[in-house]
Structure 1
Amino acid sequence: MISGRFGENGELFFEIELIASNGEYFSVEVVLDTGFTTGFLAINFQDLEGLEWYLISSKIGLATARGEEFFDLYEGKVVIDDREFMIPVYVGDELPDTLIGSQWLDIMELVVNKPKGILTLEIVENQ
């Protein structure tokens, strides 16, 4: 289980680790964006440099809050809830935050109780 924090504007922040192709780990704070339904992770191009992830596809159009934007798709490795995942990662320009998408909610349970300060994500084991 990972614990998160609430932002000043109601954002849901969590810390995850990105694993570079050379095995180096980078801790990053991410925002859970339930409107980001097509992916697991979106990062800014400038954050990609040290990771040296493998490019899968270029110039993929996605609907965003600012209209249609184009992203490159990379194969990336992350650690969430003490587990490693190889996932497709959308990389674009001018992303103000690193985003995790709502696809994580297919395999994780999100618990939110703002009055009590509870914000967690946890892997749900297959029954």
Structure 2
Amino acid sequence: MKNFAKIAILFLFAVLLLDIAFDAADFMSFNIDGDEVDGPLGALLAVIFAGGGLVIAGVVMLVVGAVLAVVFAGVGVIVVGALGFAAVAVALALSPLLLPLLVPVAIIWYLVSRSRKAPVAEPVHKAA
């Protein structure tokens, strides 16, 4: 079975090579500005141009990725700054409304901190 598979694959490649050799003008051709280039040279040029197009596409994708990274980083800085500004604006807008709540909290805080302080002891003088 293994020997038959090798022979069958070899036969298929031989048929493919014969088809390429006798019918090369049909598939080895492409157009450049209306001029048809065919034959083995046409196939070679087609492969070179396709590879060049892929290289150009790769470079373009790298440049676009770098530009988008810079743009999104800049937009991110602007968004973070805008969110900080909005937080300060909201805090300033709410501060007059929180004043009735802050006055009792400040009084309680003062009383608690005053009771925690230890009384200052008078220095002891040694009798001479």
Place the TM-score, normalised by the shorter chain, in its bin.
Answer: under 0.3
Q: Which has the larger radius of gyration?
A: 2
- The TM-score normalised by the length of structure 2 is 0.17
Structure that is richer in strand per residue: 1
More helix by share: 2
Larger RCO: 1 or 2 (CA < 8 Å, sep 6+):
1
